[in-house]
Structure 1
């Protein structure tokens, strides 16, 4: 029966050992596997025992890799499983690794989901739909995701949506109030907020009259440079249509044209 003739520590990995059988290198194992099977010089090994040892070593290597992966940040079970697949760990071994990680409290989808939602609320401007979609992508089941999302109250959603809405209004301050509102609303919806939350957030955040006139004059001056060489009647018509398409009111447009013509 084959016999272990030498056990030596690897130079670069002191937690791994090279095993020689009958004078030749046979395989390497993790320190935990070495201890689990009580491997020592003189131990006799059957083919079946060698295969079992190597299977256990695959699990151990995968477990170590997964723990290192989890040390960076919390992960869902699906994220860890996908990581093990990329490491080409067999499914049976991967499932055992997940089981061990659960028992060691390294994996808990409920805790992960709660922490993930809390982090998204505190550090991003994402709305509930977007966060919930990301939870689904990470393999979190509907019930766990729903429970985790309870911490994102409607009041908190409105507060964050309002800040996002106001930020977008400032971004598009050179546009008409109509376009500012439209673009800001689109951004809030795109970020994952419901239309009802968006409407409440936008209720008192519309641009004031002074901002509207400033935006109108900015657009009017651009149009004026484009059409100033036209005949007066054609100039006025083109100015009106250009500014109307930008979302400005006709009466305000007339005032802007008059102001330009006075200059």
Structure 2
């Protein structure tokens, strides 16, 4: 098996765990390619071989930034809820263009759960952990927990008002 095929197989393995953005795959290949001697097959540089692998993965629909971004938003909305601004930040870090993110979020057919609904659901699940806590401590922990998920203070306050008895959230 030649080195090109080895790198391509490593890419397939990397993509088998979860969908990836193009940028993630490029960064992964840059790390892996440093172990190989050049020239590899017909390629003179690392960039040439990475471009070729990325092109092949795109042709076979293993890399699609639009589908990846939709998947990521869905995961961060339902499975591991985060605030939308936090999700946007993560997508930008993964190399997804702001225009593509906006296009997906504005798509009427793509359901985006509101930050308030996500925060409320998280708080309802989390409040059980705080039953034995002193009310003020429980309140503070809930605020920190929701803030760590990227929710803004206005949303946190509304959620706290709904999940905590009035006398505790002062």
Question: Is the pair's TM-score, using the shorter chain for normalization, greater than 0.5?
Answer: yes
Partner of 1:230: none
What RMSD over aligned residues (CA atoms) do the two structures have, in Å?
2.7
Partner of 1:228: none
CA distance in 2: counterparts of 1:183 and 1:88, whole angstroms: 45
Per the normalisation by structure 1, the TM-score is: 0.51
The higher radius of gyration belongs to 1
Partner of 2:58: 102
Total equivalences in the alignment: 154
Residue from 63, 78, 88 that aligns with 1:122: 78
Q: Does 1:163 align with 2:121?
A: yes
Per the normalisation by structure 2, the TM-score is: 0.74
Is 2:7–2:33's contact at 8 Å kept on the other side of the alignment? no
Partner of 2:112: 152
Q: Does 1:67 align with 2:12?
A: yes
Write out per-residue CA displacement over residues 98-155 of structure 1, whole angstroms, 9 at most, x where no aligned residue: 122112211110100101111222211322232222212211121222334453232x
Secondary structure, counterpart of 1:140 in structure 2: coil
Q: 1:67 to 1:184 in 2, by over 3 A?
A: same
Consecutive unaligned residues of structure 1, counting only runs of 5 or more, are 1-15, 17-28, 30-57, 213-246, 249-263
CA distance in 2: counterparts of 1:206 and 1:66, whole angstroms: 48
Secondary structure, counterpart of 2:163 in structure 1: coil
**1:62, CA displacement in angstroms?**
2.3
Consecutive unaligned residues of structure 2, counting only runs of 5 or more, are 35-45
CA distance in 1: counterparts of 2:21 and 2:62, whole angstroms: 10
CA distance in 1: counterparts of 2:53 and 2:112, whole angstroms: 33
Partner of 1:175: 134
Residue from 65, 74, 87 that aligns with 1:131: 87
Partner of 1:191: 149
Q: Which moved more, 1:178-187 or 1:75-84?
A: 178-187
CA distance in 1: counterparts of 2:14 and 2:63, whole angstroms: 12
Is 1:136–1:142's contact at 8 Å kept on the other side of the alignment? yes
**1:168, CA displacement in angstroms?**
4.4
Secondary structure, counterpart of 1:188 in structure 2: helix
Partner of 1:207: 165
The one of the two structures with greater contact order (alpha-carbon pairs below 8 A, sep at least 6) is 2
